[in-house]
Amino acid sequence: MEPYKNFPVAHLSDDQLEKIDMLERELRQETNENIVLIAYDEANEK
């Protein structure tokens, strides 16, 4: 089984990527941890 086969990276717009970046910064400030968010698009197997 190929790792992450069912979870390809999501294709996001620039605005959506900016929202993720903003949330990462907020979480870093709140937690004092190096938070990284990753967007995957769960593949639907039929």
Look at residue 4 in the predicted model and tell me its pLDDT. Answer: 59
Q: Which domain holds residue 5?
A: 1-46
The pLDDT profile of the chain, 46 residues, written as one tens digit per residue, is: 466 567 888 999 999 999 999 999 999 999 999 999 999 998 765 4
Total number of domains in the chain: 1
Q: Which of 34, 31, 41, 37 is nearest to 19 (CA)?
A: 37
28 vs 20: CA distance, rounded Å:
12
41 contact partners, CB below 8 Å, separation of at least 6: 7, 8, 9, 10, 11
Tracing tokens 């937690």 back to the chain, one arrives at 31
Look at residue 23 in the predicted model and tell me its pLDDT. Answer: 98
